């Protein structure tokens, strides 16, 4: 039988441990009024982070961003995630929100983008998409067409060029475009379909511009101001900033283009 | 990104999950092991299910239950005027459910190790069932109970699959260590991913060390008896 002292000693150790942990965790997870929450396509990460930094430097608002595959994020918004603004790569996730009757205060076609291939520096030498079917290419990565529009556009292109069926056995699907690019960076795929903007920031990868621009739909990045967010006033202000000249200049510097006929 | 707020949020969520679990884990273990209530067999299976099903199943069921259109989510929305899903509370609930079987099963083992003769003696001397639980069973099984609590805590800290479905991956609100690592891996930010991995491994190792130390002492105690 153990003594009371022993009991106290052991209980004390565990309580001390948990107490120390509790002490370090106080004060996190606040969701005060000075925060706005953006859900944005992963492909926007670097460009949007820079635009937000510029905005936060002048404003007291804190901008939180949850990056992910656009359709994943749209699904979360539809089930009640309190996002103030949603920036999607592609129109489909926004259409999905409209079908689900998610409240929107404003919507603009913010940006456009293009598809390219990336390989490792000494990777296979590709002259066109037909080369993907040759033996020099093992695994071909793209974002899952159902989860991220980058994959949808890549699939559309391959289907239109009559290569989709033949390439099926070589395909590896990533959760979104960055995950897809990481497959090539880590040597787990030989080539990946990514946006030009992602390719631009990938050090150490070869960018091959062989995806015909007319083989897939025009890529749009709609930005939506949602009515279900916690902080509509601050969100509206940021939304206007995002569609303004300064933010667009930052985004274009990261390789995005402005959609013709869009704002 | 800053690492400290992520660690803080992870610990906060795991702690709250653990605190939610403890009374249920001790209570149900007692009902199953000591009281042998009717349906114990089914109860045991039911409470162990989160260990056996993919965490994404737990997350999805929680999302349906707690979401805006879910039965519980609607009530909570009416009472508190706020959503549970995609908040740290949802992450804590997900972690609580996924980590529950580990905690409860460890506690059940330790309660089974308490000699029923001692409990019967206490009963025959006039102690009620609650008194027996808190003066005989729990004190004799306490090291195993603490070990179970720590095991539950370490699992709660590492919860990913259910959390990302019901709480999303929102920096500063629901992004715990595992989710932050996932994001960094996706972005190809190996530097930050590896730093977060180191923190994650360190916290887990520390908790497991304490757990093992407790368990060793608890076994030593049983043998001595």
Token output for B31: 């009902």
> For residue range A8-49, what is the model confidence (pLDDT) as tens digits?
666 666 666 666 665 555 444 444 458 999 999 988 998 999
B146: nearest CB among A1, A10, A79: A10
Average pLDDT over chain B, rounded to an integer: 91
Look up tokens 């695994």; give the residue. Answer: A139
Q: Do B188 and A37 touch (CB under 8 A)?
A: no
The percentage of residues in chain A with a pLDDT greater than 90, rounded to a whole number, is 55
Is some CB atom of chain A closer than 8 A to the CB atom of B160?
no
Nearest to B28 by CA among B93, B97, B96, B107: B107
Look up tokens 């489909």; give the residue. Answer: A92
Question: DSSP label at B34?
Answer: I
| Confidence at residue B180, expressed as pLDDT on a 0 to 100 scale | 95
Q: Tell me how far CA of residue A146 lies from CA of A11, A45, A90, A99, A149, in angstroms.
A: 51, 20, 12, 16, 7
The DSSP-derived string for chain A is ---HHHHHHHHHHHHHHHHHHHHHTTT-----TTEEEEEEEGGGHHHHHHHHHHHHTT-S-EEEEEEE-HHHHHHHHHTT---SEEE-SSSHHHHHHHHTT--EEEEEEEEEE-EEEEEETT----SSGGGGGSTT---EEEE-TTT-HHHHHHHHHHHHTT-HHHHGGGEEEESSHHHHHHHHHTTS-SEEEEEHHHHHH-TTEEEE--S-GGGSPPEEEEEEEESSSS-HHHHHHHHHHHTSHHHHHHHHHTT-BPPTT--
Query: Which chain B residues are Cβ-neighbours of A1 within 8 angstroms?
Result: 221, 224-225
Q: Is the pLDDT of residue A262 over 70?
A: no
A65: nearest CB among B63, B171, B207: B171
Closest residue on chain B to A25 (Cα)? B8
Query: Which chain B residues are Cβ-neighbours of A81 within 8 angstroms?
Result: 85-86, 168, 170
Q: Is the pLDDT of residue A156 over 60?
A: yes
Local confidence band at A149 (pLDDT 50, 70, 90 cut-offs):
confident
Q: Do B146 and A45 touch (CB under 8 A)?
A: no
Is some CB atom of chain A closer than 8 A to the CB atom of B106?
no
A-contacting residues of B 9-28, CB under 8 Å?
9-12, 14-15, 18
B142: nearest CB among A1, A7, A178: A7
User: Of B10, B141, B172, which to mutate for an interface test with A (greatest number of A Cβ within 10 Å)?
Assistant: B172
- Residue with the larger pLDDT of the pair A6 and A64: A64
Question: From the CA of B183, how many Å to the nearest CA of chain A?
Answer: 8
Is some CB atom of chain A closer than 8 A to the CB atom of B163?
no
Residues of chain B with pLDDT under 70: 218-225
Query: Which chain A residues are Cβ-neighbours of B150 within 8 angstroms?
Result: 14
Look up tokens 């996730």; give the residue. Answer: A93
Question: DSSP label at B82?
Answer: S
> For residue range A51-62, what is the model confidence (pLDDT) as tens digits?
999 999 999 999
Domains and CATH numbers, chain A: 35-113+219-253 (3.40.190.10), 115-210 (3.40.190.10)
Q: Is the pLDDT of residue A236 over 50?
A: yes
| Confidence at residue A8, expressed as pLDDT on a 0 to 100 scale | 62
Looking at domain B3-219, does it have CATH number 1.10.3720.10? yes
CA A148 to CA A73: how far, in whole Å?
10
| Domain locations along chain B | 3-219
Q: Do A21 and B143 touch (CB under 8 A)?
A: no
Closest residue on chain A to B179 (Cα)? A66
Q: Is the pLDDT of residue A234 over 50?
A: yes
Q: Do A79 and B142 touch (CB under 8 A)?
A: no
Is some CB atom of chain B closer than 8 A to the CB atom of A41?
no
**Inter-chain contacts counted by CB atoms under 8 A, chains A and B:** 106
Closest residue on chain A to B225 (Cα)? A1
């Amino acid at each position: 039988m153990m003594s009371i002292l022993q009991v106290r000693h052991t209980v004390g150790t565990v309580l001390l441990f948990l107490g120390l942990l509790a002490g370090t965790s106080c004060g996190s997870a606040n969701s005060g009024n000075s925060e706005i929450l953006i859900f944005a396509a992963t492909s926007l990460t670097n460009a949007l982070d820079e635009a937000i930094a510029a905005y936060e430097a002048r404003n007291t608002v804190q901008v939180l961003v949850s990056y992910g595959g656009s359709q994943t994020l749209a699904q979360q918004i539809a089930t009640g995630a309190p996002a103030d603004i949603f920036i999607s790569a592609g129109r489909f996730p926004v259409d999905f929100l409209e079908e689900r009757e998610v409240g929107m205060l404003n919507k603009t076609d913010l940006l456009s983008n293009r598809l390219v291939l990336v390989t490792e520096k000494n990777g296979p030498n590709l002259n066109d998409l037909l080369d993907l079917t040759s033996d020099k290419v093992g695994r071909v990565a793209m974002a899952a067409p159902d989860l991220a529009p980058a994959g949808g556009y890549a699939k559309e292109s391959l289907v239109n060029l009559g290569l989709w069926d033949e390439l099926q056995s070589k395909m590896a699907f990533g959760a979104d475009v960055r995950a897809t690019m990481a497959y090539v960076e880590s040597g787990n795929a030989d080539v990946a379909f990514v946006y030009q903007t992602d390719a631009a920031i990938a050090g150490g990868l070869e960018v091959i511009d062989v995806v015909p621009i007319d083989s897939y739909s025009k890529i749009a990045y709609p930005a939506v101001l949602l009515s279900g967010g916690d902080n509509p006033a601050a969100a509206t202000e940021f939304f206007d900033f995002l569609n303004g000249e300064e933010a667009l200049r930052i985004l274009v510097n990261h390789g995005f283009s402005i959609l013709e006929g869009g704002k | 990104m800053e690492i400290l707020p992520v660690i803080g949020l992870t610990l906060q969520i795991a702690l709250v999950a653990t605190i939610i679990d403890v009374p249920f884990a001790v209570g149900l273990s007692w009902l199953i092991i000591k009281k042998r209530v009717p349906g114990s067999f089914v109860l045991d299976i039911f409470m162990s299910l989160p260990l056996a099903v993919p965490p994404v199943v737990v997350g999805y069921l929680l999302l349906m239950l707690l979401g805006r259109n879910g039965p519980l989510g609607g009530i909570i929305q009416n009472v508190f005027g706020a959503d549970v899903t995609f908040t740290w509370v949802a992450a804590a609930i997900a972690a609580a459910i996924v980590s529950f079987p580990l905690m409860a099963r460890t506690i059940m083992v330790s309660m089974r190790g308490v000699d029923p003769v001692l409990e019967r003696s206490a009963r025959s001397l006039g102690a009620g069932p609650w008194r027996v639980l808190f003066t005989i069973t729990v004190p004799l099984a306490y090291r195993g109970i603490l070990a179970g609590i720590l095991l539950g805590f370490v699992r709660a800290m590492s919860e990913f699959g259910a959390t990302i479905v019901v709480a999303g991956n929102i920096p500063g609100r629901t992004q715990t260590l595992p989710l932050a690592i996932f994001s960094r891996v996706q972005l190809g930010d190996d530097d930050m991913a590896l730093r977060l991995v180191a923190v994650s491994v360190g916290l887990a190792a520390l908790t497991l060390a304490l757990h093992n130390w407790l368990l060793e002492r608890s076994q030593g105690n049983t043998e001595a008896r």
